[in-house]
Amino acid sequence: LEPSSISYPFRKLFANRKNVHFRLGKLVKVIPETKTLVLSNGELGYDELIFATGAETNYFGNENIRKHAIPMKTLGDAISMRNILLMRMEEASVSSDPLEIEKLLTLVIAGGGPTGVEISGMFAEMKHGILKKDYPELAGKGGEIYLVDGGKAVLSPMSAYSQQHTGDALTKLGVKLVLNMHVNDFLDDTVVLSDGRKILTRNLIWAAGVTAKVFEGIPEACFGRGKRMIVDEFNQVSGIANIYAIGDTCIMQGDSGFPEGHPQVAQVAIQQGRALAKNLKRREKGNAMLPFKYHDKGSMAIIGSANAVVDLPKPEIHMSGFFAWMVWLFIHLMSLVTYRNRARTFWNWMIAYIAKDQSLRMIIRPVEEENIV
């Protein structure tokens, strides 16, 4: 998909909201005592501060992986990954060294969650179809695709049914599942697994975990597991008045159904955002705030073209294959901001599905900052 199909500029989104002002800047420090935000381009005062800063890639302290792996968390990461892997194919197409070609075309994806599953399935389908058409000189030379995860199955938070279907589908596509295993290091074009095994590759895609962002000025005691801010049932940060946090950046430990905190998924952030907005309105009117209660609407993951898995909690329903894929498409279409984005995305998906191809295989390099005058 084009980036503009799934993203939308904040300024345009809030153009008709006269009480909303957008400010682009990097948060440097919070000063709760004076209710001040120090930004990279100035300062802002606040009455109520809400952190919705999400999470960033967690490399678990491994500098080699941080420097050399390909992260997969943001829209920018996705564009960068596309550029890098397309360049790998171009390099392989002109190389005469079989070992170098194998390293260029072999992919290791760390993390068997929905992101890792989608990436491995997508590249497996590309290998069998698009690679042969666009790079006929590489026919029969494609490297392997490895999906590495520390659990006993992929999609560990989902049902056993979904795990089994996904594992079988990926294996059928030619993906090699490496389970009960971790990536320990990535150096000199070599991925080192936790049992000592080595995989020669130039491409390690890192989808193995996230961590919340830490900001100066928030006391260390306010952070819990995964650097997430500890919040009460109203999403107020522990021990600090007038500061709230929602989504991936917070951990609410008071919910009996989720004693270790809610899962770091979009539906939690959406529900917390709506609940907090209503609570702030209630407080403004002199009414008591209501505690947040998470309603799990289910989980889903896409495996490939016309293949996905869906788990619904109430009633407990498990779906897979084409119908689950249609449900996945519908939910994601409805999550987009505007009708125009939905229509454009639906059209692009249908063309790609019917043609079994898509044209967005251009290498688009960002302009280096030092080259900007």
Does 141 fall in a domain?
A: no
Is the predicted pLDDT of residue 373 greater than 50, yes or no? no
* C-alpha–C-alpha distance, residues 209 and 150, integer Å: 11
Q: Residue 93 — very low, low, confident or very high, per pLDDT cuts 50/70/90?
A: very high
Does 155 fall in a domain?
A: no
Classified as helix, coil or strand, 334 is helix
Between the alpha carbon of residue 177 and those of residues 36, 351, 363, the distances in Å are: 49, 31, 29
pLDDT attached to residue 31 = 97
pLDDT attached to residue 372 = 43
Q: How many structural domains comprise the chain?
A: 1
- Note down the domain range covering 277: 3-51+212-285
Between the alpha carbon of residue 99 and those of residues 42, 96, 105, 145, the distances in Å are: 52, 9, 10, 16
Does 19 fall in a domain?
A: yes
Tens of pLDDT, residues 162-199 = 999 999 999 999 999 999 999 999 999 999 999 999 99
Does 27 fall in a domain?
A: yes
Is the predicted pLDDT of residue 370 greater than 60, yes or no? no
- Lowest mean per-residue pLDDT among 62-66, 242-246, 312-316, 364-368: 364-368
Does 20 fall in a domain?
A: yes
Does 67 fall in a domain?
A: no
Average pLDDT, the chain: 91
Classified as helix, coil or strand, 156 is coil
Q: Which two tokens stand for residue 191?
A: 């991925």
Say if residue 315 is preceded by a cis peptide, omega within 30 of 0: yes
* C-alpha–C-alpha distance, residues 264 and 213, integer Å: 13
- Lowest mean per-residue pLDDT among 121-135, 224-238, 351-365: 351-365
Reference 305, options 344, 360, 358; nearest CA is 358
Does 44 fall in a domain?
A: yes
Q: Residue 67 — very low, low, confident or very high, per pLDDT cuts 50/70/90?
A: very high
Q: Give the pLDDT mean for 13-27.
A: 92
Tens of pLDDT, residues 294-338 = 999 999 999 998 999 999 998 899 999 999 999 999 988 888 878
* C-alpha–C-alpha distance, residues 258 and 45, integer Å: 34
Is the predicted pLDDT of residue 356 greater than 80, yes or no? no
Does 217 fall in a domain?
A: yes
Provide the CATH number for the domain around residue 221: 3.50.50.60
- Lowest mean per-residue pLDDT among 3-7, 45-49, 311-315: 3-7
Please give the share of the chain, as a percent, with pLDDT higher than 90: 72
Tens of pLDDT, residues 268-293 = 999 999 999 999 999 999 999 999 99
Reference 266, options 241, 293, 246; nearest CA is 246
Q: Give the pLDDT mean for 89-93.
A: 93
Tens of pLDDT, residues 206-238 = 999 899 999 999 999 999 999 999 999 999 999
Highest mean pLDDT among 60-69, 70-79, 362-371: 60-69
pLDDT attached to residue 72 = 92
Q: Give the pLDDT mean for 32-55.
A: 96
